[in-house]
């Protein structure tokens, strides 16, 4: 099942969208799907590459790539699979409302990263997290939640600590949904195409959920990136 079929249809067809293409095109990817420079930093948990969950995600990604409208997406390499806990900043978003409070918007990205690192090292962060898959949304994103209410609360508390430490006040802070990105849309689909993608997503999700009903994650990592294909850990949070 999808979280909301009507929402998935709207996202895939661009209903109500401001632009002629999905937002990632021209920023993170070119129209052909080639990755573009998009440097920044972020707080995430990589999906352990040796685990069953990573294998299930690889299988799901391949199944989606075999679908009839796979060319409308740019799929990410499995080595990049992760769940974002809290978004940092991107160099292209200096005038965005999500730029950290109290930080000059002309400060070099490396300097912002150093500032964040100093601020988050002392934070008390959990050593592990557990999540469970909820749905494959629109053929490109695995929606997840904490495996238990306590796990969800722990992730939300970690987000609050990171927001306070970095000065980032995201407009969608309370409503943010945890997810694992598998691909980025490159063009708007017709309604018939979108329906087919959603149907495929439901079938693929059923197999993924059976194989990985719960996903174990390690510590939150503070990472930098040059593009959407590689996230380099600078520090595992909560370690001495």
Kindly give the confidence (pLDDT) of every residue in the chain, 240 residues in length, as a single tens digit, with 9 standing for 90 and above: 346 899 999 999 999 888 999 999 999 999 999 999 999 999 999 999 999 999 999 999 999 999 999 999 999 999 999 999 999 999 999 988 889 999 999 999 999 999 999 999 999 999 999 999 999 999 999 999 999 999 999 999 999 999 999 999 988 999 999 999 999 999 999 999 999 999 999 999 999 999 999 999 999 999 999 999 999 999 999 987
pLDDT in tens, 97-110: 889 999 999 999 99
Element (H, E) at 63: helix 52-65
Alpha carbon of 180 to those of 22, 32, 100, 102, 230: distances in Å?
18, 22, 24, 30, 14
3-state helix, strand, coil in the chain (%, to 5): 35, 25, 40
Angle made by CA atoms 7, 200, 134, in degrees to the nearest 5? 55
Alpha carbon of 62 to those of 32, 55, 108, 170, 208: distances in Å?
19, 11, 38, 33, 12
pLDDT in tens, 159-201: 999 999 999 998 899 999 999 999 999 999 999 999 999 999 9
Q: For the chain, how long is the longest CA-to-CA vector?
A: 53
Number of neighbouring beta carbons within 10 Å of residue 218: 14
Q: Where are the chain's structural domains?
A: 5-16+40-236
Alpha carbon of 201 to those of 41, 43, 78, 194, 233: distances in Å?
30, 27, 18, 10, 30
Question: Could you give the count of Cα atoms lying within 13 Å of 77 in the half-sphere of its Cβ?
Answer: 9
Crossing angle of helices 191-211 and 5-13, in 10° steps, is 130
Topology given in CATH for the domain delimited by 5-16+40-236: Cyclic Phosphodiesterase; Chain: A, (3.90.1140)
pTM for the full predicted model? 0.96
């Amino acid at each position: 099942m999808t979280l909301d079929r009507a929402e998935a249809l709207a996202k895939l067809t661009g209903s109500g969208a401001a632009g002629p293409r999905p937002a990632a095109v021209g920023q993170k990817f070119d129209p052909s799907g080639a990755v573009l420079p998009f440097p920044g930093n972020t707080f995430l948990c990589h999906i352990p590459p040796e685990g069953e969950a990573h294998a299930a995600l690889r299988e799901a990604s391949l199944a989606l790539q075999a679908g009839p409208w796979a060319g409308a997406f740019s799929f990410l390499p499995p080595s990049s699979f992760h769940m974002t806990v809290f978004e940092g900043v991107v160099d292209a978003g200096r005038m965005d409302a999500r730029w950290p409070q109290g930080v000059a918007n002309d400060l070099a990205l490396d300097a912002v990263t150093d500032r964040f690192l100093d601020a988050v090292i002392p934070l008390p962060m959990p050593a592990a997290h557990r999540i469970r898959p909820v749905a494959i949304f629109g053929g490109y994103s695995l929606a997840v939640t904490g495996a238990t209410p306590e796990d969800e609360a722990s992730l939300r508390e970690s987000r609050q600590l990171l927001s306070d430490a970095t000065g980032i006040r995201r407009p969608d802070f309370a409503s943010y949904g945890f997810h694992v990105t598998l691909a980025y849309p490159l063009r708007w689909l017709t309604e018939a195409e979108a329906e087919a993608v959603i149907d495929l997503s439901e079938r693929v999700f059923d197999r993924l959920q059976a194989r990985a009903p719960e996903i174990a994650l390690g510590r939150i990592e503070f990472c930098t990136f040059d593009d959407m294909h590689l996230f380099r850990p600078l520090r595992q949070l909560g370690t001495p």
